[in-house]
Structures are given as structure tokens and as C-alpha cells.
Amino acid sequence: MRILLIILRKEFLQIFRNKIMIPIIFVMPFVQTLVLVYAATFELQNTNITIVDLDHSQMSRKLGSKFDASPFFDVEFEQCDYDNIDKMLLTESTKAVLIIPHDFENDMRMGIKTQLQLNINAIDGQTAGLISIYVNQTILSLLKELKPFMNKTDLSVMPASIHAKPQFWYNATLNFKHYMLPGILTILISMIGIFLTSLNLVREKEMGTIEQINVTPIKKWQFLSGKLIPFWLIGLFDLALGLFIGVVLFDLPIEGSIFSLFVFSGLYLFTAIGLGLLISDFADTQQQTMFTIFFFFLIFMLMGGIFTSVESMPIWAQYVNKINPLYYFIKIIRAILLKGSGIQDMMNEFFALLAYGIIAMSVAVWQYRKTS
Amino acid sequence: MNNSIEIYNLKKSFNTVKALDNLMLTVEQGGFYGLIGPDGAGKTTLMRIITALLLPDSGSIMVGGLNPVKDYKELRLKLGYMPGRFSLYQDLTVEENLSFFAKVFDTSIEENYHLIAPVYSQIEPFKNRRAGKLSGGMKQKLALSCALIHKPEILILDEPTTGVDAVSRRDFWEMLSQIRENGITILVSTPYMEEAVLCDKISLMFDGKIINSGTPTEITSKFKEKIFILKTLHLREILKIARQMPELKSVNSFGQNLHLVVRDNLVEITEIESFIKKSCDYDFKIEPYQAGIEDCFIDYLESVENV
């Protein structure tokens, strides 16, 4: 115990003296939450759309002003032919082109079925889908306004339909930030758990300092505990800092208990640190460590469900996620923060992480050799 | 117990490379023992086995009355080791490093200050400086202080003076002889032959074997052939000519001079002089010479090559 305290003191001394470590610990939570939460958004805002009005009627202008008033679109009105439309999409000067045909107003009034043409740059399929939906909704809202002015035959344009009114639970306002922020926090904690732990351990090998440690009476468990505990504590500290930023700046709801959140986070950090140690067992230099972790971390992150829904991934990917610790943690942290779940609601995830942590840590400690 | 280190038939291989080949070594208690040999001779491997950092393949080994393979835990307390590569924390200060290693051994800088004083007093003015910012010589002194702080019985130093300037090297050996007065056994390795004479016993090591052991004078007195030193400004030209003389067993340059070893004492200075003068008219001077450790070493290497 005495020796462990001596090592811990030395580790903290080195961590706080490291020029890079301090910014990582204190600045990274701010940067990640402030920048990433805004950047990693799927909401459509100020999308460039070009409207080619061939009708020049009252109704077509009304439709144009509908788009103009929408916060989702930045509208450009153009008079041009099809070749130019192609060019505009190619040069990315606009994301979508909506063409209002001749006789638009006339057809509408006569009750003749009319068609608008919408060309969307669909390189980013997700955004293209959203643009299509938003454009349709904008047009529909115009039709609703026009309804009273139309004669009976026009009713065929708007067939009777079952109207389902959705009610969004757990994130009633569909606030994207409340969904992203917990995900960003998991990245933050993983980076500390896996990257920093691993780099710190490999550094002893790379600098050769392990050789001097090895001729002292320091035992393996003392050395490893001294190396790992600081990052466990720093990880929890950064989680608290990230939550604080989320609550103050983004109004992040904390529906569940902070206690459950920290129990799970402590467990997840244990797993992450175990993985960090495991990777450091097989790496000789910090460079090797970085590349190895980067490889795994990218897969964990993209598959874990931070940005995309795991349920819409192929079945094999969902099975792969069973060995992705980040997957469990993302699920847990969102459930606690947004749904108010407790430990008892997530026993499966709890035991999965526990087993994962114990296995990763045991293998890592067993594989660990103090030799350089 | 008169011997601090006793090693018999020690073997260690890395894959197919024999790093240590049936090695024998005995170091007396309180001795100041030098392991002399070029890079790759196996000095570091031997030291890492002695300090229980590496397991031997076979052979028996006893250090301070303990077996490094089995009793490594007790051995750690008796042993001080200074690795060849600077292995202290560069981002900790001089004092923090020393105090860390002292505490790990459950002691303090104050308690064993008398032991490290001859070394540590020289770097104490810089005790708040980061170890990474020290000069090579000062790093060496800090490493030695850290290896000594727990009052070891045996001190193992792996090439402590490699990469250190000549003045610091002399200082360092001076300090080692002071440390020795505390009754600490010292085993030190070095590739510098001229440092060997400062030890009271040495072993010449080559290719995982010890090729010659004894006091420095014992070793040099085993050198039976006549040896001359040739001084000249035209070293390379005369080297070429002298090598053509069949009576000379070997001609090698040592710094600014040539060492000429005569085969079976066949010739004298005058005959060599006339042989060289036949081929050129450069100025040179030949004098009798007492063989050094390096001459013995090179003599051995050449005898191995000729087999």
C-alpha cells in the first residue's frame, strides 16, 4: 500500500507536468462538447435550394415565399434552362433545384394533376432524404392554405388520409444535442481510458525507465495499479466536467440517478483501461500504440451507435457490437440521461460490461511483462 | 561467503544467437571487477541475468548468496543496478527521482546521504532541474546516486561511461573507488580498455565467453611477444609497408601510433627500421613498449581469426 501511494504520487506528478496531458484533461471536454455537438448534427439548416419558376403566377410566387420563409432553406430564384440546372448541381452552388412548371397555377385551379420537379444532389444520401422530406412538407403546407379557395373537384388532389400524430418520448422536442451529447461524452471517456492509459504504459517501455523500476522491490500489481488508477479517476472527473458543460450550456436533462451513471461509467472505464493495457502489452513504441488504438477505436465508435442507429445495421454488425464495449456504454448513458433508467433496468448491459472488463483486465494483466 | 558473484557454465541464447556460452565468473566480496569487451560481447546480457531481469537457459548462478532465478525478491534489496541506457524519469527533477527510488526501497535521501555524498554532492546544486535537462555526465551521476540510495551490497554498472566526455569519465571512476571504500562490491562493464587498469580484477569478454581473467598486470604479463611502438606523421603509408614484413605478427594503429608485434621474437628494432626504410623515406621512430590490455585483446582476436 505504501509503495502504491509512492507510485501514484509519482504518476500524478508526471501527468500534471506533461505539457499535453493538462490540455487533454481540462480542454478536451470543452472542445468536444462545444464543437462536436454542433458539428455532428443531422438537422437541416440554411440549405441552398434554387427555385426555377417557369409559371410566374401568384401561386408559384406564394410557393417561393414559403420556401424563403423557412429556416431550413436559403432560396435563390433563377431563370434558366435544364443545362444550367445540371451545372449548378455539379458545381455545388446549390443542393437542390425545384422547378415550378408552366401552368402550375392554372392546373391547380382547374383541378388537373400537376407535377413539380425536384433535383437533389444525393451524394450525401441522408441529407438528400431530409431535403426531399422538408421540400414536400413545405409544399403540403401551401396546399393546406389553398384548400378553401379550391373548388370541389380539387379535393381529389388531397385524398382523405389517416393522420398519425407522433408523440416523441424521452426527447420530446427532438433536440438533437441531447441525443449527441451523451455520445460525445462516451468518446471523451474512451479516449482517456484507452489512449492515455496505453500511451502512459508504453512510454515507460520506450524511455527505458521500466528497466530501473524492475530492479526495485515494486511488484507487478503495485506498478500496474499505480499506472491505471490515475486514468480511472481522470476519466470520471472528465465525465463530471462534460456533464456539467452539458447541463449548463445545452440544458442536458439528467433523468436518471447520477449515482447509476457513475457506477456504469466506472465500470466502463475499467473495461476501457483493461483494453488500453492489453494493447500496450503488445506495443513497444507510442507510435505503434497510437495506430493500433486508432484502428480499433474507429470501429468501436462508428459501430457503437453514436451517430447511427445500431438497430438499422446489418445483423452481423449487430453481433459484432456484442464485443464492442462502447456500444453498451452509449446505450447505458443515453438511457440514464434521457430515459431515467436505473441499474436494475440495464442488468444485461451491466453484466456484459462487467464480464468484458474482467476478461480484458485479466488477460491484459496476465500478458503484461515488465520487460522492455 | 567470500564471493559476491559466482557463475558456472552460464548459457543464454536469443533464438539462434548464443549471447552467453558456458560463461564462468567469480567476483570476490568487496571487489572492484571490470568486464571488458566490445559491443555485442554479451556484457549487458550477463548483467541482466545477474540482476534477475533475464532468465538464463542453463548454468548455475549465485549473487550475494542468492539465486537470481528463485530469490529475485530478496536480491532486489541487495543489488544496485545502473543500466547502460539512462533509465530515470526525464520529466521528474533530480531530487524527485532520487527520492522516488529511496522511498520505493523504504529509505530516504537523508538516511543514506553519506553513501551517495561523493556523487550526489556534485549534482545537488541542480536538484530542482528536470533529469532530462541534465548533461550526459550529470545524468550518469544521478543514475549512480539512484542505484546507490538503498545501500546495496553489490553494485552493477553497465557501461556507465559510454557516451560521456573524457573528464567526466575520469571523475566517474574516481567516484567509484570512493564508493568501494564502503565495502560495496562493484561489477562494471566498459568497452574502453584504458579504463580496465583502474579495476582490481578484470575479465576480457568476447562472443559470449570470457577469454582472459585476472588482475590487469596478470593479463598484460601473459603477453609473451615483443611489442614496439612506432611514432610517425605518415601512419597509413607506414602501416601498409610494415604489414608486408613477414616477421611481424601484427601491425595495428592505436590512436596516432602503430603497435608492432614481433612473431616469436624474430626481429629487433633495427631490422624493422631498415625494412621500412627500404620502401619509403618518411620520418618515424620505433621504441620498445609494454603491452596493454588492448594489445592482449587484439592478439586474442587475431589468433581466433587465424584458426
Same domain, B13 and B114: yes
For residues A67, A69, A74, A76, the Cα torsion angle rounded to the nearest 10 degrees is 60
> A240 vs A331, B12, B21, CA distance in Å?
18, 53, 59
Residues 17-36 on A with a CB inside 8 Å of B are 17-18
Angstroms from A278 CA to nearest CA on chain B:
22
| ipTM for this prediction | 0.81
Tell me which residues of chain B have a pLDDT lower than 50: none
Same domain, A127 and A231: no
Asked whether the beta carbons of A357 and A271 are under 8 A apart, the reply is: yes
So what's the pLDDT on residue A353?
Answer: 92
Residue A202 inside a domain? The answer is yes
A212 close to B (CB below 8 A):
yes
Same domain, A216 and A78: no
CB-based contacts of B68: which residues, under 8 Å, 6+ apart? B49, B50, B51, B52, B61, B75
Residue A1 inside a domain? The answer is no
* CATH of residue B229: 3.30.70.100
Same domain, B152 and B250: no
So what's the pLDDT on residue A164?
Answer: 59
CA atoms within 13 A on the CB side of B206: 15
Residue contact B53–A215, C-beta within 8 A: yes
Asked whether the beta carbons of B42 and B207 are under 8 A apart, the reply is: yes
Residue B27 inside a domain? The answer is yes
Same domain, B62 and B15: yes
So what's the pLDDT on residue A42?
Answer: 65
So what's the pLDDT on residue B225?
Answer: 81
Angstroms from B41 CA to nearest CA on chain A:
20
So what's the pLDDT on residue A149?
Answer: 56
Which residues in chain B touch residue A218, judged by CB atoms under 8 angstroms apart? 104
Residue A151 inside a domain? The answer is yes
**CA A289 – CA A202 distance, rounded (Å):** 8
Angstroms from B35 CA to nearest CA on chain A:
20
Same domain, B80 and B150: yes
Beta-carbon contacts below 8 Å between A and B: 58
Which residues in chain B touch residue A14, judged by CB atoms under 8 angstroms apart? 89, 91-92
**CA A317 – CA A303 distance, rounded (Å):** 7
Residue A165 inside a domain? The answer is no
Position B111, amino acid: E
Same domain, A24 and A51: no
Same domain, A27 and A122: no
Residue B305 inside a domain? The answer is no
A6 close to B (CB below 8 A):
yes
So what's the pLDDT on residue A161?
Answer: 47
Give the total number of structural domains in chain B: 2
> B122 vs A68, A129, A175, B96, CA distance in Å?
79, 74, 65, 16
Same domain, B138 and B81: yes
Residue B183 inside a domain? The answer is yes
Same domain, B175 and B246: no
So what's the pLDDT on residue A160?
Answer: 45
The residue of chain B with its CA nearest to that of A215 is B76
Give the total number of structural domains in chain A: 2
* CATH of residue A153: 3.40.1710.10
Q: State which residues form the domain around A25.
A: 7-40+172-367
Residue B113 inside a domain? The answer is yes
**CA A347 – CA A341 distance, rounded (Å):** 11
Same domain, A303 and A341: yes
Same domain, B191 and B242: no
Same domain, B201 and B275: no
Residue A166 inside a domain? The answer is no
- Neighbouring CB atoms inside 10 A of B143's CB total 24
**CA A349 – CA A325 distance, rounded (Å):** 10
Angstroms from A190 CA to nearest CA on chain B:
26
Residue A167 inside a domain? The answer is no
Same domain, A285 and A238: yes
- Terminal C-alpha separation, chain B: 40
Same domain, B170 and B285: no
Domain boundary among A133, A157, A181: A157
Same domain, A74 and A189: no
So what's the pLDDT on residue B279?
Answer: 81
Residue B207 inside a domain? The answer is yes
Per-residue pLDDT of chain A in tens (372 residues, 90 and over written 9): 889 999 999 999 999 888 888 888 888 888 888 887 777 666 677 788 888 888 888 888 888 888 888 888 888 888 777 777 888 888 888 888 888 888 888 887 777 778 888 888 888 777 788 888 888 888 888 777 766 555 544 444 554 445 556 666 766 666 777 888 888 899 989 988 999 999 999 999 898 899 899 899 998 899 999 999 999 999 999 999 999 998 998 888 888 899 999 999 999 999 999 999 999 999 989 999 999 999 999 999 888 888 778 888 888 988 888 889 999 999 999 899 888 888 888 888 899 999 999 999 999 999 887 654
Same domain, A205 and A335: yes
Q: State which residues form the domain around B239.
A: 224-290
Residue B304 inside a domain? The answer is no
